[in-house]
Amino acid sequence: MANFDDIRPYNETEFPAAMQRIADSELIPSISNYLKPGANPELLRNTIRNIKNINELQLVFLKQAIEIILAKTTTKFDWSGMENISEKKPYLFVSNHRDIVLDAMFLQYILNAGGHNTCQITFGSNLMEHPLVVDFGKANKMFRTERGGNKMEFYNNLMHMSEYMRHVITEEKESVWIAQRNGRTKDGIDATDPAIIKMFWMSRRDDKVKSLSELNIVPIAVSYEWESCDKLKTLELYTTKVTGRYEKRPGEDLNSILTGIMQPKGHVHFHICEPVNEDDLRRMDSAPGDYFNNIAKLMDERINSGYMAMPNNFIANDLRSESNKYASHYTEQQKADFLQYMKWIEVYKDLDQALLRDIFLGIYGNSVR
């Protein structure tokens, strides 16, 4: 593991010191008040200091924390497709990506509930700014994925990550979670980047089919009734469209993480799709076109088929097209609630209201399209 010390999660010897640093964080009072309003923050600090290992962190403390988040912010949380995976095999879970932290954390909860081991999680270096985020991530089986750099650095980082993921899956026999593209879906269109598939292959190039087959790729479809950070995504897309670029402010990623956790989500559904097996990979290899593009399209088919469109998605699509095409998928009350929620746009009187509205509706409606 020495070759991967720069990106790997904390090991068991590094874990206790990380718990001490987390317990000492200035953010603990805010976290404590969210998890248990009115409780003395010292109780949470002591609980964290006494967590002995990674399993105790994930299977006891974080399980309880996720259940609090679900109770506070969801009306329904369910999943399907567990029959598609076995607790005896490690997998490479490739998911559409809507929330920075919760997509992977909810999957961990589901795996635990189904009797499976939890997985290691990719975590962008751009997110590892605040010390609490770094310690929490690396203590929670998250490994660092480097962003940026020149062309050679970018290539070397991809190769390093590909080698690490293959090592974890084939040698440590542990599953890995990664998003289907670099960064979250902001516009509601989930699409697998063929470059991600190519990165999987980089660490074993002798046989394309065998290279990907031994990773046991499983697509995951994540569906939220209320899109994570929908207002923030709308404003970001608006700025990009109007000015041609968007620069993140200091602390913006941490704000998005906290917003995603605390924002109401309504119904949340996960679907574990049919794995991409060796027969699929051979079929994609013999099909016309680029091999990695073909696999990305197959991934999209399975993720989009497993995506659970919610009433809000149909409402937004109809509002955007000024039609009632999908009216049978929602009630008048649900539509009225959605329109009431949309009034947040009116606060931004100096911005193009029509463009803001169109972007916001696209975030929800594009998944139906």
Residue 1 scores a pLDDT above 50: no
Q: What is the pLDDT of residues 279-305, one digit of tens each?
A: 999 999 999 999 999 999 999 999 999
The answer to whether residues 345 and 259 belong to one domain is: no
**CB 125, CB 145: distance < 8 Å:** yes
Contact between residue 361 and residue 319 where contact means Cβ atoms under 8 Å apart: yes
Say whether both 226 and 359 belong to one domain.
no
The number of folded domains in the chain is 2
> Which of 292, 308, 324 finishes a domain?
308
DSSP state of 87: T
**Confidence at residue 36, expressed as pLDDT on a 0 to 100 scale:** 93
71 with 168, same domain?
A: yes
d(CA 284, CA 296): 10
**Shared-domain flag, residues 330 and 227:** no
> Which two three-digit tokens encode residue 180?
């289907």
Q: How far is CA 43 from the centre of its chain?
A: 30
Token pair in block for residue 329: 């998928």
Within a domain: 41:
no
Provide the domain limits for residue 354.
313-365
pLDDT of 44 higher than 50: yes
Q: What is the β-pairing status of strands 120-124 and 176-179?
A: parallel
The pLDDT tens digits for 176-231 are: 999 999 889 999 999 999 999 999 999 999 999 999 999 999 999 999 999 999 99
Give SS3 for 363.
helix
CA atoms of 4 and 6, how far apart (whole Å): 5
